[in-house]
């Protein structure tokens, strides 16, 4: 069995997620949506009524389940498309029709995208208010390239005891970070050294001229893949 998991930013339009293989089973969760919605598909969906899988919506008192017919939910994608501006309508971070895993795992010290700061890097975390899980960095996150923010994973080595902890950044506005309490983490981490900070999303747009890899086409644009909401895709390759 093989299983991978990635986050991506919803676009409100059908998109292609290159996962590295054509999965046998897919789960997509809208992790930023209060409805608690998700979509599922597997190669076992072998009926006309559900060959694109099904959705589960928890927004009502009763859980609503709906079936996806062809072209409405999730379907395999073989890849191999050479991308021009006609297919890949945007290459901006958090946008795009064709997505692939972000090869850059650490933006805290990366000059290519302008994340390196006047101090040379984001390398120091200070815990200001433990009860609120808030603190600040040694410098602001540049507003010119907003790749660090809600959804980023930050790895910190605490000064006291030198424990290394990886947590989610829950709130951070681009162009901020250096002032007290400007950064909110999922749990309080003591003051320490920043080892790495990922982008807000695990998947980013392919650059123009790329040839796409295998994965899925996500046709659904409501409940999951809602514009500007974080989604989680978990893809599994069965043993049989």
180 and 130 within one domain:
yes
78 and 30 within one domain:
yes
Dig out the tokens for 163 from the structure.
Answer: 């424990």
6 and 95 within one domain:
yes
42 and 56 within one domain:
yes
* Region label for 40, one of left (φ > 0), alpha (ψ between -120 and 50) or beta (otherwise): beta
Q: Is 132 helix (H, G, I), strand (E, B) or coil?
A: helix
d(CA 8, CA 120): 28
Q: Give residue 213's domain range.
A: 2-102+203-237
Per-residue pLDDT at 133:
98
Answer whether residue 115 is part of any domain. Answer: no
Answer whether residue 137 is part of any domain. Answer: yes
38 and 98 within one domain:
yes
Answer whether residue 168 is part of any domain. Answer: yes
Answer whether residue 161 is part of any domain. Answer: yes
Dig out the tokens for 38 from the structure.
Answer: 């998700």
Answer whether residue 133 is part of any domain. Answer: yes
Q: Is 130 helix (H, G, I), strand (E, B) or coil?
A: helix
Dihedrals φ, ψ of 43, to 5°? -70, -5
Average pLDDT across the chain, whole number: 93
Dihedrals φ, ψ of 131, to 5°? -60, -30
Contacts of 219 by beta carbon, 8 Å cutoff, 6+ apart: 14, 52, 68, 71, 72, 73, 74, 75
Whether 15 contacts 99, CB under 8 Å: yes
Answer whether residue 69 is part of any domain. Answer: yes
Dig out the tokens for 80 from the structure.
Answer: 């191999």
Number of domains in the chain: 2
129 and 84 within one domain:
no
208 and 181 within one domain:
no
pTM (2 d.p.): 0.93
Answer whether residue 118 is part of any domain. Answer: no
150 and 221 within one domain:
no
95 and 25 within one domain:
yes
Give percent of the chain above pLDDT 90: 80
98 and 6 within one domain:
yes
The mean pLDDT value for 83-109 works out to 94
Matching residue, tokens 């950064």: 183
pLDDT greater than 80 at residue 226: yes
Give percent of the chain above pLDDT 70: 93
The mean pLDDT value for 103-132 works out to 82
155 and 39 within one domain:
no
Which value, to the nearest 10 degrees, does the dihedral of the CA atoms of residues 232, 233, 239, 240 take?
A: 140
137 and 82 within one domain:
no
Instruction: Choose the weakest-confidence range: 44-48, 86-90, 103-107.
Output: 103-107
Answer whether residue 109 is part of any domain. Answer: no
């Amino acid at each position: 069995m093989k299983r991978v998991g990635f986050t991506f930013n919803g676009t409100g339009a059908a998109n292609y997620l290159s996962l590295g293989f054509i999965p046998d089973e897919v789960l997509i969760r809208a992790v930023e949506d209060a409805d608690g919605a998700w979509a599922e598909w597997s190669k076992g969906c072998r009926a006309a009524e559900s060959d694109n899988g099904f959705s589960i919506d928890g927004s009502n008192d009763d859980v609503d389940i709906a079936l996806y017919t062809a072209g409405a939910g999730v379907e395999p994608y073989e890849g191999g498309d050479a991308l021009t501006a006609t297919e890949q309508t945007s290459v901006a971070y958090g946008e795009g029709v064709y997505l692939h895993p972000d090869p850059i795992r650490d933006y805290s010290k990366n000059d290519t995208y302008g994340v390196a700061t006047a101090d040379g890097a984001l390398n120091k975390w200070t815990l200001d208010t433990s009860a609120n899980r808030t603190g600040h960095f040694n410098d602001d996150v540049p507003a010119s390239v907003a790749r660090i923010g809600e959804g980023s994973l930050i790895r910190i080595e605490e000064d006291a005891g030198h424990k290394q902890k990886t947590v989610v950044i829950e709130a951070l506005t681009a162009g901020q970070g250096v002032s007290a309490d400007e950064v909110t983490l999922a749990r309080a981490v003591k003051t320490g050294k920043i080892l790495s900070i990922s982008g807000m999303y695990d998947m980013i747009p392919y650059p123009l001229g790329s040839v796409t890899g295998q994965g899925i086409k996500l046709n659904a644009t409501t409940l999951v893949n809602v514009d500007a909401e974080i989604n989680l895709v978990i893809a599994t390759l069965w043993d049989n």
